[in-house]
């Protein structure tokens, strides 16, 4: 059992709040679990290199978890935690929103505050310059459809109007991400799932190049001439402008 106020090697415990920022932890140390686990209500492990949350089940009265700026990815799993109502996981490596929401929905029944800003699973300007407000709105509706008890998502509260819309249409807001692979020129393209009978990837282009001079073409005279008499763009042009 920890004392009401302790500070040692950058780890600060004060009245149930355990702060362990920038300790270069890849997982929660056993000695920290043994010393503070039973007494910690708020745990801040931001700016570490956490790749999993093993040992979190040893914090039975935990209510708030802050793990911003870590290395948590799609394989992160929460244990069953009855009291945990706030999870801050900004700027990690979560990309599969379905797997994350399924695990959270099963194991965190009291969750009401969630923030995933800066993860690929949260499509806004922090995760990708190609995302806009419409992408983020669809994400919010889908998350609220899966986690209807949320009161606050990312940087905004969840209104009753937004929850009603999520209940009505949130299931259709799921974003399907196309698997991408880089081309030899460094650009990305969508990987085709069509294959030929020989097992090769399908392409509409010919498999071999034609020899020089062995090409086919045609030419002729067009029977129709466009004068632009009915063009909408010409109705404001006067003869003196020509």
Q: How many CB atoms lie within 10 A of CB 109?
A: 14
For the record, the structure tokens of 102 come out as 């399924």
What is the chain's pLDDT, residue by residue, as a tens digit (242 residues)?
556 667 777 899 999 999 999 999 999 999 999 999 999 999 999 999 999 999 999 999 999 999 999 999 999 999 999 999 999 999 999 999 999 999 999 999 999 999 999 999 999 876 677 778 889 999 999 999 999 999 999 989 999 999 999 999 999 988 666 544 343 444 444 444 455 455 566 666 667 766 766 666 666 666 655 555 555 555 555 666 55
| Whether the Cβ atoms of residue 24 and residue 46 lie closer than 8 Å to each other | no
Q: How far apart are CA 175 and CA 216, in angstroms?
A: 45
Q: How far apart are CA 235 and CA 29, in angstroms?
A: 77
Q: Specify the pTM.
A: 0.71
Q: Which helix (H) or strand (E) holds 167?
A: helix 160-169
Q: How far apart are CA 13 and CA 18, in angstroms?
A: 4
Q: How far apart are CA 129 and CA 112, in angstroms?
A: 28
Dihedral angle sign, alpha carbons of residues 154, 160, 161, 162: positive
Query: Which residues contact residue 97 at a Cβ distance below 8 angstroms, ignoring those fewer than 6 apart?
Result: 121, 122, 139, 142, 143, 175
For the record, the structure tokens of 31 come out as 């000695």
């Amino acid at each position: 059992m920890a004392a009401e106020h302790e500070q040692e090697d950058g780890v600060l415990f004060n009245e149930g709040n355990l702060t362990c920022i920038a300790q270069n932890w890849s997982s929660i140390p056993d000695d920290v679990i043994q010393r503070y686990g039973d007494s910690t209500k708020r745990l801040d492990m931001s700016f570490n290199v956490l790749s999993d949350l093993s040992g979190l089940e040893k914090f039975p009265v935990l209510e708030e978890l802050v793990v911003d700026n870590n290395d948590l990815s799609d394989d992160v799993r929460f244990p069953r935690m009855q009291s945990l109502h706030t999870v801050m996981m900004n700027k990690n490596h979560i990309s599969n929103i379905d797997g994350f929401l399924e695990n959270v929905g099963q194991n965190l029944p009291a969750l009401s505050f969630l923030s995933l800003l800066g993860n690929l699973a949260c499509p806004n300007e922090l995760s990708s310059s190609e995302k806009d407000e419409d992408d983020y709105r669809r994400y919010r509706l889908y998350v609220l459809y899966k986690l209807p008890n949320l009161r606050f998502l990312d940087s905004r509260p969840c209104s009753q109007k937004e929850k009603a819309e999520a209940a009505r249409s949130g299931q259709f807001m799921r974003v399907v991400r196309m698997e991408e692979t880089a081309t030899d020129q460094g650009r990305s393209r969508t990987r085709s799932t069509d294959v030929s009978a020989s097992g090769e990837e399908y392409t509409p282009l010919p498999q071999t190049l034609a020899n020089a001079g062995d090409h086919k073409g045609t030419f002729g005279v067009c029977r129709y001439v466009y004068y632009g008499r009915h063009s909408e763009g010409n109705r404001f042009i006067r003869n003196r402008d020509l």
